């Protein structure tokens, strides 16, 4: 079986957790992982690495009985009728997706082309993994998916959050590997990418609006901040002068591990907050361009102003001030955090990888 995450970028996300379960419980399969730069990736277990675009890559996709990916695969890969393609996808949707988008603003494509290519891809999916009933309903229209192809079993990548949420020794180990100070709380800032911030195809501009100077002044004694930028954003962060306060974790391959070490998440319109909700920890929404984003770009499936498990800020200075009283925010939003968990995270039982492995092995037997 062949695995790929984010187009071969790294070893991560749900394909990683399905692989790790399979390798442990069903080691008789042959496993192959696709990477853009195989030499840069540490891959545990018996899997073979192949370079994306190489002859071995085409051979892997041609011969593998199972394809397991978390994002679209190129249409030039020819899927045969006896091959099984399990698409894990990579997030509970907040913003409109694919067929539900009215206008596509991305470099190098038109709305019609984008939808036609997307539909051709989803027609190849034998199974699509869904983390909750809310996503299942959306996937049916956005991805043209018949309900019988949707596996509503939670996300394999969230197994870690369920199984290790209270594992202090493991969390300590992660903090040490990230060089985080033991005596400070950890905030993670993980903003989304904005569809219209492109300069040319594949190059996106991003401007850090959260004001690190002010945050460091207000919070530097008690907190460190992890900065997690979307993989489509290419201009590197310049953190000179913030060495002891801000840490760039944009290239850290496993975001689930970062959730575990974070006491609080700050995001805006990124679907990370659905996964972080599994931990029932405080979340804050820094939506500085909410008026523009909500009306103009992809629109939202949720009522952004009422359904979130934490407060919304448009002012970076007010946000920094209130972060000093994180416990107060947590207490104030306790009921909303609980309700959000019940609506979007309750399916996560720590056994999603097993559920997918069971489908694979049952099909074999």
| Residue labelled with tokens 């689930």 | 256
In the predicted structure, residue 203 carries a pLDDT above the cut 60: no
pLDDT in tens, 118-129: 999 999 999 999
Query: Buried b vs exposed e over 73-94: b needs ≥16 C-beta within 10 Å?
Result: beeebebeeebbbbbbbbbbbb
Looking at residue 163, its pLDDT comes to: 97
| Assigned CATH for 159-344 | 3.40.50.12580
CATH architecture of the domain covering 2-157+349-364? 3-Layer(aba) Sandwich (3.40)
Q: How many CA atoms lie within 13 A of 348 on its CB side?
A: 27
Give CA angle at 249 (268, 162), nearest 5°: 70
* Equal CATH topology for 2-157+349-364 and 159-344: yes
Model confidence at 45: pLDDT above 60: yes
With a CB cutoff of 8 Å and minimum separation 6, the contacts of 75 are: 117, 120, 121
Average pLDDT of the segment spanning 70-93 = 96
Residue extents of the structural domains in the chain: 2-157+349-364, 159-344
- pLDDT grade for 194, boundaries at 50, 70 and 90: low
Mean pLDDT over the full length of the chain: 91
């Amino acid at each position: 079986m062949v695995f790929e995450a984010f187009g071969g970028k790294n070893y991560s996300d749900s394909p990683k957790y399905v692989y790790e379960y399979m390798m442990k419980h069903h080691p008789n399969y042959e496993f192959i992982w696709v990477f853009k730069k195989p030499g840069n990736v540490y891959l545990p277990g018996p899997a073979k690495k192949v370079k994306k675009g190489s002859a071995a890559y085409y051979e892997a996709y041609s011969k593998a009985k199972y394809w397991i990916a978390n994002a679209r695969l190129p249409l030039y890969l020819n899927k045969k009728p006896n091959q099984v393609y399990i698409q894990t996808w990579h997030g509970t949707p907040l913003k409109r997706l694919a067929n539900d988008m009215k206008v596509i603003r991305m470099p190098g494509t038109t709305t019609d082309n984008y939808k036609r290519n997307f539909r051709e891809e989803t027609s190849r999916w034998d199974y699509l993994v869904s983390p909750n009933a809310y996503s299942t309903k959306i996937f049916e229209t956005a991805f043209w998916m018949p309900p019988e192809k949707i596996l509503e079993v939670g996300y394999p990548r969230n197994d870690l959050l369920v199984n290790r949420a209270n594992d202090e020794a493991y969390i300590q180990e992660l903090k040490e590997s990230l060089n985080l100070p033991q005596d400070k709380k950890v905030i993670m800032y993980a903003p989304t990418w904005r569809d219209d911030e492109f300069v040319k195809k594949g190059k996106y501009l991003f401007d850090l609006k959260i004001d690190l100077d002010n945050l460091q002044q207000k919070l530097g004694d008690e907190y460190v901040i992890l900065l997690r930028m979307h993989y489509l954003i290419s201009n590197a962060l310049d953190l000179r002068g913030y060495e002891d306060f801000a840490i760039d974790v944009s290239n850290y391959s496993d975001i689930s591990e970062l959730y575990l070490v974070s006491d609080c998440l700050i995001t805006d319109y990124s679907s990370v907050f659905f996964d972080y909700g599994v931990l029932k920890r405080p979340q804050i929404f820094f939506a500085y361009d909410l008026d523009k984003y909500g009306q103009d770009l992809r629109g939202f499936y949720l009522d952004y102003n009422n359904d979130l498990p934490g407060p919304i800020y448009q002012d970076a200075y007010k946000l920094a001030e209130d972060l000093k009283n994180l416990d107060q925010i947590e207490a104030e939003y306790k009921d909303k955090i609980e309700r959000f968990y019940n609506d979007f995270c309750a399916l996560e039982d720590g056994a999603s990888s097993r559920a997918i492995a069971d489908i694979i092995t049952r099909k074999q037997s």
